[in-house]
Structure 1
Amino acid sequence: MGTPRPEDPPSPDDRSAARVRTRSGGRSERVRRAVGEAVLAFLAEGKITFTTVEVAERAGVSRRTIYRWWPTHDDLLIEALSLHVRRVEPPDTGSWESDVRAFAHLVASFAADPVDLAMSGIMAGRRHPDFNALVVDQYRPVLGAWRQMVARAVARGEANDTHAPGTVVTMLVSPLFLGPLMLGRRPSDTEIDRMVDLVLAATRP
């Protein structure tokens, strides 16, 4: 999705809450995941315009199911984006150092994923503002969780409160997202650990 903006305020009216249907367990969950993965596959190809028939065929489900559960194109995108952003939820190990280190490696792999790279290109082109808005909406809860990771460390006395949580997150994730776009590769583990060391030094109590 390109470089996120962790300081964006939470949305007071998160459209995803109203539009994404919650189904868990059993066949419903399998269908939901299959449809989400099918849409993500289209996004990885740089396509945000696809038909219900194409999604049904790629997901291996009936068109009737798609029309019943995801009646609009936006519903399909929200399903896929919701699945996508959950893959970068931050860890909660109980330790700031282990949290930030595990989180950095997670983000590095996530940002180098073909789906996120393609989405970054789509968003950077600014030709599809409605799609960009959907992406931002889906990331709001995740960005809040990223900030909470920092806030927990401050509350435990493991990090100082000199910098706002959003600033700390931005300092860490920006180069991780920009690396694949500018260098064409995921940062090495050594490079990631050096970034983490800088964040730890900046937040030391």
Structure 2
Amino acid sequence: MSTLSPDGRRASDEAQATQPAGRVRTRTGGRSERVRRAVGDAVLAFLEAGKIDFTTVEVAERAEVSRHTIYRWWPTHHDLLVEALSRHVRRVEPPDTGSWETDVRAFAHTVASFAAEPVEIAMSGIMAGRRFPEFNALVIEQYRPVLDAWRQMASRAVARGEANDTHTSQTVVAMLASPLFLAPLMLGHPPTEDEIDRIVAFVLAATRT
């Protein structure tokens, strides 16, 4: 996976109004947030098409953002991937309804929908091919805090006395999420409502106090 060099950049009015990568101050609905969303969406579109070696110029054109802005905020190919992947994976926030059963059902439907999205399927295919180890490592790195939040959902249920501690929170999350992620890849379609209900029932039975 190549790293793009920012050599040859020149200042512009637009670039001067921005901040370097990692120090961008954003506000909901502000220009910074709109730019970041557009760039992240552009990168995800390339990944959905199975294209890892996209260029800064291609991202700029697709996002309709100045190349100077991209070079200033995201100097490298790695930075662009981090922006896109971090936004993508953090969309699956675990519910916290106060009820283990309700949490499991809501989470299962959220994961089933997320796992069936074309970009997620494409990314799984790229990772399965193992041609881009740096990309695989980056995806895993971005998922790490997300998985921790998912495990906390199970830990809260144990703390409330709604779930047993026979299985680790990691095992419980794997039981719940793994078949939902695998269905679109192995079966070619998202799990049906009946299949989701069966997975939920399996997890609830395994964690019943």
The separation in 1 between residues aligned to 2:181 and 2:101, in whole angstroms, is: 20
Measure the CA separation in 2 of the matches of 1:59 and 1:67: 13
Aligned pairs for 1:26-37 (under 5 A) are 26-37=30-41
| Aligned-partner residue type, residue 23 of structure 1 | R
Cα distance in 1, alignment partners of residues 65 and 149 from structure 2: 33
Instruction: Tell me the residue number matched to 1:53.
Output: 57
Counterpart of 1:105 (choices 103, 109, 112) is: 109
Listed one character per residue, the Cα deviations across residues 67-92 of structure 1 (whole Å, up to 9, x for unaligned) are 00000000000000001001112111
Shift of 1:160: 0.4
Once superposed, what is the RMSD of the aligned Cα atoms?
1.0
Contact 2:127-2:136 within 8 A present in 1 as well: yes
Trace 1:168-183 onto structure 2 (pairs within 5 A): 168-183=172-187
Give the number of the structure whose alpha-carbon radius of gyration is greater: 2
For the pair 1:130 / 2:134, whether they are aligned, the reply is yes
Cα deviation, residue 189, structure 1: 1.4
Alignment correspondent of 2:25: 23
Q: How big is each residue's C-alpha offset from its partner over 1:6-49, in whole Å with a ceiling of 9 and x where there is no partner?
A: xxxxxxxxxxxxx7555321100110011001000000001111
Q: Secondary structure at the match of 2:94?
A: coil
Distance (Å, rounded) in 1 between the aligned partners of 2:192 and 2:51: 29
* Structure 2 unaligned blocks of 5 or more: 1-20
2 CA distance for matches of 1:101 and 1:31?
Answer: 35
* Number of residue pairs matched by the alignment: 187
Which aligned runs of 4 or more in structure 1 are off by greater than 4 angstroms? Answer: 19-22
TM-score normalised over the length of structure 1: 0.89
User: For 2:67 and 2:115, how far apart are their aligned partners in 1?
Assistant: 32
Shift of 1:60: 1.0
SS at match of 1:87: coil
Which structure 2 residues correspond to residues 66-145 of structure 1 after superposition, within 5 A?
66-145=70-149
Identity of aligned residues (%): 78
Tell me, in whole angstroms, the C-alpha distance in 1 between the residues paired with 2:35 and 2:186: 36
Unaligned runs of 5+ in 1: 1-18
Decide which structure has greater helix share. 1
SS in 2 for 1:47: coil
